[in-house]
Amino acid sequence: MKIFASDALLGKTFLVTGASSGLGRATSILIAACGGQVLASGRDSSQLAASINLMQGDKHIALPFTLSTADSLADWIKSVTLEYGALSGIFHSAGTALIRPARMTQQYHLEELMQSSLYSAFGIARAAASKGIIIDGGSIVMMSSVAGARGQSGMTAYSAVKAGIDGLVRSLACELAPRKIRVNSIAAGAVETEMHTKLTTNIAGTPMLDKYEQDHLLGFGQPEDIANAALFLLSDAAKWVTGTNLIIDGGYMA
């Protein structure tokens, strides 16, 4: 079902992290379908190429990059804009998940989570604060999770990281408001992606998984559900929306 006009993002360029799969891929495909150019970033070159092949148009570019530190990502984004011009927006979807009791969570688990999600989010913040990276009136959307607001056993580290994303978004929205650059996050419930499958494999067919799905009043989501929300926030339709954590969770928080 088509919701957005095919020219809704015409003439605009967006950087998408985590574009090689899942939510990043779905959002990239939708941006392209609405006329936008996608600069697709991810670790896996072959997966990025597959994402590009699914996008409408031939102006999209694969930019393999491994997220590590805030400094390296900020510098990389600046180099990208020097080559391709200022961005209309950024969709930060890259990240990893972790279900692990606090007593078994070690420093390297925390570092991996922080690097892929929170450190990289701060790298985007640093870059966006510089002139010439994002156009005035542009938009930044970062993926968060309902785990940042609702406690669950085994999710201590993941919840902490996502709560950090939401806090970063609120303050960055204040900093970039003079340039009319909007900054928002999406708190997603369980969406049926490759990552979701990996996380639920061990409880597949059990009452635990059934209960988890029932807690999502409308069932588990699809990547397109998040992509639609991301496109709204990236588009001019959300020109008066900033500092918001948009909950897209099929009723989980209810």
Note the pLDDT tens digit of each residue in 168-199: 999 999 999 999 999 999 999 999 887 766 66
The torsion angles phi and psi of 49, rounded to 5 degrees, stand at -60, -40
* pLDDT interval class at 203 (50, 70, 90): low
Q: What's the whole-model pTM score?
A: 0.93
In whole angstroms, give the CA distance from residue 64 to residue 57: 20
- What value does the mean pLDDT take over residues 203-207? 65
Give pLDDT tens digits for 19-56.
999 999 999 999 999 999 999 999 999 999 999 999 99
Q: What pLDDT, on the 0 to 100 scale, is given for residue 113?
A: 84
> 198-228: b or e for each residue (b if 16 or more CB lie within 10 Å)?
eebeeeeeeeebeebeebbeeebbebbbbbb
Domain ranges of the chain: 13-248
> Tell me, what's the pLDDT at 147?
83
More confident residue, 156 or 249: 249
Instruction: Label the pairing between strands 61-64 and 13-17.
Output: unpaired
User: Is 252 among the residues known to form the active site?
Assistant: no
Closest C-alpha among 37, 119, 41, 124 to residue 85: 37
pLDDT reported for residue 108: 86
pLDDT at 158 over 90: no
Q: Which tops the pLDDT comparison, 209 or 107?
A: 107
Active-site choice (84, 119, 158, 252): 158
**Position 95 confidence tier, pLDDT thresholds 50, 70, 90:** confident
Quote the CA–CA distance of 135 and 133 in Å, as a whole number: 7
Quote the pLDDT of residue 115: 84
Higher pLDDT among residues 211 and 221, named by residue: 221
Question: Can you tell me the distance from the alpha carbon of 238 to that of 185, in angstroms, rounded to the nearest whole number?
Answer: 13
Contact yes or no for 12/38 (Cβ under 8 A): no
CATH among 3.30.465.10, 3.40.50.300, 3.20.20.70, 3.40.50.720 for 13-248: 3.40.50.720
The pLDDT value recorded for residue 205 is 63
